[in-house]
Amino acid sequence: MTILVTGASGHLGANLVRRLLEDGHSVRVLLRQGSNNTAVDGLNVERVYSDLRDANAVLAAIQGCDHIYHCAANVSILDGIPELQQEIYDCNVIGTRNLLQAALANGVSKVVVTGSLSAVGYHPTQPSDETVPFNPFGNHLPYEFTKSCVEHECLKAFADGLNVVIAVSCAILGTNDFKPSRMGKTLVDFANGKLSAYVPGGFEFVSTRDIVQGHILAMDKGRPGQKYIFSTQFLTVDELMGIFEEITGKSRPRLRIPGFVMAVIATTADAILPRLFPQMPRRFTSGAVRILQMYRRADCRKAKNELGYQPTSIRQAIQEAYDHFVRRGMIQTVTPVMRASAPN
């Protein structure tokens, strides 16, 4: 049986593919030509190249696959740029739709689609579970809107007879972070003494180990048409900085910028930077600051009760991410010793 994984060059996909290979499966990965596909270098996988927006290419890519993990998405914290919004929509919503329709047409027996906590309704005073509806009139990033639409596409495909399950991810932390992710870059910058400030807040995190296990459980035991939230632990940013300090041996930045101040700075930057430097990666946008200030918590009892999901440890995930970055030379652990210059 061949298992197709989309988004295999990404953080989740890189970890999921390794786990599937360890479990003895035959894996096909859907990649894009011209992308950074380092995450699958040296792995014993079948590679197919296609963009999810190309329905015919997706149809060809899934031939002969019985199970699909659809992890790919355009993950973005940007807002207010129409061309970018269209791209996020096309990749996430149309791409998912193309994949699910191809799966239906080819008799694929089960598909697990990665969801996002940002598309689960927000409850200000208690953790959100799968029953809290997404409020379309809330203040959402384009990415968050599309992840809600992705769930809608899944339910339409389920109504048409597809066995599809949504595995909802929280903010991912952990190893095999090749691009690296925004959280991974934050850890790298922290460890290299290049993080000059931080913003208090809080979010629900999931380790790569746990979100991979969640996807496997969703495939093995998830009820068709259902969604399951997988989280490891809620952390405030101050707690996260504490773990970074323990693991890296470095101190957190002295500058702790209050959320409302950072929101003003980020809103100003939102209005200027995307137009001048559209490709520039940004740690903070006003949307990202807002999300941190929501102190969003998740309730994953459904996954625990129905699937037997058991979260592990975020600290361990951060240690594994740190070790991965050290191995790849992205974190300098020793201060280079100045060479004495040779006598003339």
Ligand X SMILES: NC(=O)c1ccc[n+]([C@@H]2O[C@H](COP(=O)([O-])OP(=O)(O)OC[C@H]3O[C@@H](n4cnc5c(N)ncnc54)[C@H](OP(=O)(O)O)[C@@H]3O)[C@@H](O)[C@H]2O)c1
Q: What residues between 132 and 171 interact with ligand X by CB under 6 A? A: 147, 169, 171
Terminal alpha carbon distance of the chain: 68
The site that binds ligand X (CB under 6 A) totals a number of residues, namely 28
**For residues 196 and 184, what is the distance between their CA atoms, to the nearest angstrom?**
16
Nearest Cα neighbor of 217 from 304, 136, 140, 282 is: 304
**For residues 97 and 92, what is the distance between their CA atoms, to the nearest angstrom?**
8
Residue 343: CB minimum distance to ligand X, A = 51
| Position with the least CB separation from ligand X | 10
Do 96 and 52 meet the contact criterion of CB atoms below 8 Å apart? yes
Stretch that binds ligand X, among 71-79, 296-304, 305-313, 322-330 (CB under 6 A): 71-79
| Given 27, 61, 62, 73, the residue binding ligand X (CB under 6 A) | 73
Region of residue 151 (phi > 0: left; psi between -120 and 50: alpha; otherwise: beta): alpha
Q: What residues between 3 and 42 interact with ligand X by CB under 6 A? A: 6-7, 9-13, 32, 35
Would you count residue 98 as binding ligand X (CB under 6 A)?
no
Q: What residues between 181 and 210 interact with ligand X by CB under 6 A? A: 181
Match 């100045």 to its residue by tokens.
Answer: 338
**For residues 335 and 337, what is the distance between their CA atoms, to the nearest angstrom?**
6
Would you count residue 75 as binding ligand X (CB under 6 A)?
yes
Q: What residues between 305 and 334 interact with ligand X by CB under 6 A? A: none
**For residues 151 and 132, what is the distance between their CA atoms, to the nearest angstrom?**
14
Stretch that binds ligand X, among 68-76, 124-132, 216-224, 247-255 (CB under 6 A): 68-76
73 or 100: CB nearest ligand X: 73
**For residues 34 and 31, what is the distance between their CA atoms, to the nearest angstrom?**
9
Which amino acid does the sequence have at 137? F
Residue 268: CB minimum distance to ligand X, A = 26
**For residues 168 and 134, what is the distance between their CA atoms, to the nearest angstrom?**
13
Would you count residue 179 as binding ligand X (CB under 6 A)?
yes
| Given 48, 55, 57, 74, the residue binding ligand X (CB under 6 A) | 74
Helical (H) or strand (E) element with 38: none
Residue 49: CB minimum distance to ligand X, A = 9
| Given 26, 38, 53, 86, the residue binding ligand X (CB under 6 A) | 53
148 or 169: CB nearest ligand X: 169
Residue 239: CB minimum distance to ligand X, A = 17
121 or 250: CB nearest ligand X: 121
Would you count residue 114 as binding ligand X (CB under 6 A)?
yes
Instruction: Give the three-state DSSP class for 171.
Output: strand
Residues found near ligand X in the complex (CB under 6 A) = 6-7, 9-13, 32, 35, 51-53, 71-75, 91, 95, 114, 116-117, 147, 169, 171-172, 179, 181
